[in-house]
Structure 1
Amino acid sequence: MPTVLGVDGGQSGIRLKSSAQPGTVEVDGVSRLEGDTVRSVFNAIASAWKHGHFAPVDRVVLGLTTSPADAASASRLGALIGATTGAREVWIADDTVTSHAGALSAEAGVSLITGTGVGCLALKDSGESRVIDGHGYLLGDAGGGFWIGSRGVSAVLKQLDGRGETTILTERAENQFAGLNNLAARLHSVHRPVNRISQFARDVLTAAVEGDAVANAIVNDAARELFDTARVGLHWVGQDAPLALGGKLLGPNTVLFARVVELLAADGLSFRPADASALDGALLLGEGEADNIYRELIHVWKEESAS
């Protein structure tokens, strides 16, 4: 069995774990706003690799929110990672792939994973796949952390300028963002604004539990968006296919999880909590063969292909 380094790369954080040693190393994440994304992702992974004192590995499996959009960029990233880690193979995929593999133990079905963004992959036994949403914070990721956090901040700004309802989110924003003065300008200028705004999602979820009407409406809308995303995936794969729910905001015992489950139950749809994380999914994939149901979704860089 090959020694594998799994990488789970999101906008909030990038995590590394080796199959040959205990422990996980995490560094700041990367978004597509940060210039040369391939170089930024590589720099973050190289930093974590050095910090974790990892031994060389045979294969690296990357599940990235910022997965390269073309084969040339993917090969460039693979070559950089291979040179740093000693790996002769680097598998590169969108993080929906590694999330799905972890959530459903590398079996067909639908995974809905919610963190800063939203990843929903519907996969048939044949390997035929469909991604639902996951279009990024500018165009989609409806119901995810940034989506919720940005609507929470927007509600605060509306209250401040007299257009919106009174909400306890204003007090929470004052604490979270070190005051309300020039809040919009400061958030537009902050380093990694997507991550910073998405962190406010937890304040919105907490306020909803406490009965704040504005926060409650945001969370209900988020749950509806996530339910619609999952339902589309299940209708495409088949109603009897397994549906796994996971991610930081959609774990068991969260208010968002509870409300999505209510909507699924009302529609007669079953689900299960995710079996494992995206990082676990990366390791699981890497310990197997490339000829699997995910094969069309993974770019494989090999050392010999670069010579």
Structure 2
Amino acid sequence: MRAGETLGSASGTSQHRDPTPLTWEVGIDVGGTGSRLRGAPTTPDAGSVEPVDLTGDPVRFVSGRSNAPTVVGDLCRRFAEKAGTNSTAAAVVGMRGLRSMVVSRTLNPYAVHDTLSGELGTARTAVASDTIIAHLGALQGRSGATLAVGSGAVAIGDDDTGRLHIADGLGPLIGDNGGGSWIGEEGLRAAARASYHDARGSERLLTAAIERLGQPETWESRLRDAPDRVRVLADFAPVVVRAAAEDDVVCQKILRESAELLTDCLASVLSRPGVRQVAATTGRLMAVGSPLRAAVHGLMPVKRVGVELVDAAATPLDGALLLARRLVEDPEFPSYRPLLTVRTTG
């Protein structure tokens, strides 16, 4: 059965009964490379109605402002079309770079709240950093710490009083150490060195970089002011990871340095008083089988003795839905500005 359809009579007779209106909880994960929405039906007798899954555009900056409200609005309108006239109990957006956008005033999170309320008709909304929803998804709402490694890198933990502790996630210019854009940039540096026969270079990376970006003398101008610079660098990271797995010694050195930075980041959160000594890693560079994941998991017990490393239980999108459920159950759920703002008006 398609989402938004309701269960009618079991037979083709003229007997009908009024269907129970469906209620939905909506989670949205918005990043620099794309966005995703999942609507989950919560009405007890929803039967075989399946979740609604949609994909959308990434967030961009237009005239110095984030277009996140536009991206979220498009997803919400498309969801509402599929779900028909059914109601949304709560909606949550998790967004990459939220903290820096709020602090720099390139995004007002309440504009996103307005979009959620306006398009979905819900009175319970949350706008969160992608770090928050990744943490909730990875540990299924339990306390502990999470290291998320995508284009950036950030660790988050919650202590026994409910306070949040964050390490890194400061963006590619001054932070995100060891993350995807960091690895990609180090890989391009190694490729550039190979172009002038420096022993610290990697011929394999040079070949791959030329295929993607052209000749080395054009890379600086290509990347300097490119709006997609972080994405281009992060997209080169898997090339470095694969080369390391195939015994490229230069790439292996880059991954060792990345693992050191990432484990230090996670250890700093775990060292805060009251943080439960359980940690999960998440993000595309931390997939099972990744040599970077193996390096981090190998170093972590040395950096922080006694830490229990667990597999991420679910995705950031699942974390957004979990937070939506909490908003339904607890309208007084607190905000943690600028990482999380909550609005409940009814």
TM-score by length of 2: 0.79
**Distance in structure 2 (CA, Å) of the matches to 1:97 and 1:133:** 14
Mark the structure with the bigger radius of gyration. Answer: 2
1:152-195 deviations in Å (ceiling 9; x for gaps):
11222233245563311111112233554512212335442211
1:220-244 deviations in Å (ceiling 9; x for gaps):
1110111101111111145752111
Aligned pairs, number = 301
Q: 2:139, 2:280 within 8 Å by CA — same for their partners in 1?
A: yes
TM-score by length of 1: 0.88
2:90 aligns with 59
Partner of 2:51: helix, strand, or coil?
A: coil
Alignment pair present for 1:75 and 2:110:
yes
1:83-135 deviations in Å (ceiling 9; x for gaps):
12222222111111111111111111101111111121110132111111111
1:199-237 deviations in Å (ceiling 9; x for gaps):
000001001111112211111111011110111111114
**Distance in structure 2 (CA, Å) of the matches to 1:271 and 1:33:** 41
1:252-272 deviations in Å (ceiling 9; x for gaps):
211100000110133433211
**Greater Cα shift, 217-226 or 161-170:** 161-170
**What are the within-5 Å matches in structure 2 for residues 116-135 of structure 1?**
116-135=151-170
Alignment pair present for 1:223 and 2:252:
no
Q: 2:152, 2:171 within 8 Å by CA — same for their partners in 1?
A: yes
| Unaligned ranges ≥5, structure 1 | none
1:44 aligns with 71
Q: 2:24, 2:89 within 8 Å by CA — same for their partners in 1?
A: yes
Say which of 143, 146, 157 aligns to 2:181: 146
**Distance in structure 2 (CA, Å) of the matches to 1:173 and 1:191:** 19
Say which of 133, 141, 146 aligns to 1:98: 133
**Distance in structure 2 (CA, Å) of the matches to 1:2 and 1:213:** 55
**Distance in structure 1 (CA, Å) of the matches to 2:64 and 2:216:** 30
Change (3 A) 1:98 1:240: closer
Partner of 1:283: helix, strand, or coil?
A: helix
Residue type matched to 2:88 in 1?
A: V
Partner of 1:119: helix, strand, or coil?
A: strand
| Percent of aligned positions that are identical | 26
Residue type matched to 2:319 in 1?
A: G
**What are the within-5 Å matches in structure 2 for residues 24-43 of structure 1?**
24-30=53-59, 35-37=64-66, 40-43=67-70
Residue type matched to 1:36 in 2?
A: R
**Distance in structure 1 (CA, Å) of the matches to 2:196 and 2:278:** 46
Partner of 2:126: helix, strand, or coil?
A: strand
Partner of 2:271: helix, strand, or coil?
A: helix
**Shift in Å, 1:54:** 4.2
Residue type matched to 2:25 in 1?
A: V
